[in-house]
Structure 1
Amino acid sequence: MVGAVAAIGSVAFTGVATYYSAVIAEQQLKQAQEDNELKEREQATRVGFWDQPSPDGRYREIHLANGSPDPVNGLEAMVFLRHEGSYTLYVGSVPPCSETVLRVDDLLIERGEDRKPFRLAQADEWHVASVEFADSAGQSWLRTTSFLGKKETVRDLPDVVGQVSPTQNGTLVALGTCAAS
């Protein structure tokens, strides 16, 4: 009788221990997945864009910054013109710890063969809506002012109606601080 009680107790203890081991393993797996996602996004979180007046206030500039210690490649900015649509501005690579600064006066809007190109500075209303780029691991990302995600997970991207072409190369500026984490 004592042997049967001991066996039942042993089985119950093993069952409880196995359950708690499974719960702990599940929590560890979830934490590892969250850590991997944060590491995967780390470089992408350091890529940004904005436009602002030039230091002397005579023209506007578009800034495309890479605050990470690794280069980003294939960077394209999506410029949205009111009453026109979306245009791509291909920049290419942005080196580590730097930003590319483009004068809006030097950007030409090309809308197709049947329409005359014009300078972005002549457009009534425009803004940089997003940037697309590949991190050093080759992962493609899409960033807007309020979103950062893997490009393949994004649906309903706007149709592109033309391109923005620089008539001069942008200025490459070193960022003041840039450290690996």
Structure 2
Amino acid sequence: MLAAVVAAAGLGVTAWGTLVSARVAEDQLAQSKVQSEERTRRQASRITFWTEPYTETTVIVNRSLDPANAFLVTETVNGAEGRGYGFIINLGTLPPCSQFRIDSDKLAEALPEKGREGLLDLRQTQLHIIDTYGQSWTRQDDGTLGSGLGVGAEPALTDPGELRDWWKDALSKSDPPDECGSNS
């Protein structure tokens, strides 16, 4: 009888140990998934944009140590009836540790004629990012970051030669952004 009680207790301890080991393994797996997602998002999380109030200047910042391709999605309000268009402006490659300021007038010049005709308002709604691993991301104007490409729109500039000429006039590079180093 004593042997049966000892055996049952041994089985109980073994079962409890197995259960605890399984929970530890699940926690480690969950932590590994979180770390993997953080590594995947690392570059895109360091690229952002905003429009400065009153000046209507769009600021695009790449705080990562890697270049990334970027596309700015704009929405227009045109004419008295307020019809709108969406356009994607190919910004090309954002160099590492860079900050650019784009005047709204220069952005308007980058739009096709139908986007400029009767232009009342121009708003930047998304920044599409393709990181160094080819992963696509979308930064919304409220700052949220999601994987994949967001809302589709009509391409405004797609020719790299035309884009380079536009960059010369539209962008003024400023000092590297804060928090852009090997430890960030």
Shared fold by TM > 0.5? Answer: yes
TM-score of the superposed pair, with normalisation by structure 2: 0.77
1:21 corresponds in structure 2 to 21
Distance 1:123 1:62 in 2: 17
TM-score of the superposed pair, with normalisation by structure 1: 0.79
Structure with greater proportional strand content: 1
Structure 1 runs, 4 residues or longer, greater than 4 Å off = 164-167
Structure with greater proportional helix content: 2
2:76 corresponds in structure 1 to 81
Does the CA-based 8 Å contact 2:110-2:166 persist in structure 1? Answer: no
In structure 2, relative to structure 1, the CA distance for the partners of 1:53 and 1:4 (3 Å cut) is closer
1:132 corresponds in structure 2 to 128
Does the CA-based 8 Å contact 2:75-2:87 persist in structure 1? Answer: yes
Q: Deviations over 1:28-58 (max 9, x none)?
A: 111121122222222211111123379xx6x
How many residues are treated as equivalent by the alignment?
166
2:110 corresponds in structure 1 to 108
- Correspondence list, 1:151-162, <5 A: 151=148, 157-158=151-152, 160-161=153-154
Distance 2:73 2:111 in 1: 12
1:90 corresponds in structure 2 to 90
- Correspondence list, 1:11-90, <5 A: 11-52=11-52, 60-73=56-69, 75-82=70-77, 83-90=83-90
2:80 corresponds in structure 1 to none
Residue ranges of structure 1 left out of the alignment (5+ in a row): none
Q: Deviations over 1:83-129 (max 9, x none)?
A: 22211110010011102322333323215xxx5x638xx72112100
1:179 corresponds in structure 2 to 181
Does the CA-based 8 Å contact 1:131-1:143 persist in structure 2? Answer: yes
In structure 2, relative to structure 1, the CA distance for the partners of 1:3 and 1:110 (3 Å cut) is same
Q: Secondary structure at the match of 2:111?
A: strand
In structure 2, relative to structure 1, the CA distance for the partners of 1:65 and 1:176 (3 Å cut) is closer
What one-letter code is carried by the residue in structure 2 that aligns with 1:24?
Answer: V
Distance 1:22 1:53 in 2: 53
What one-letter code is carried by the residue in structure 2 that aligns with 1:118?
Answer: R
Aligned-pair identity in percent equals 25
Residue ranges of structure 2 left out of the alignment (5+ in a row): 78-82
Distance 1:161 1:140 in 2: 18
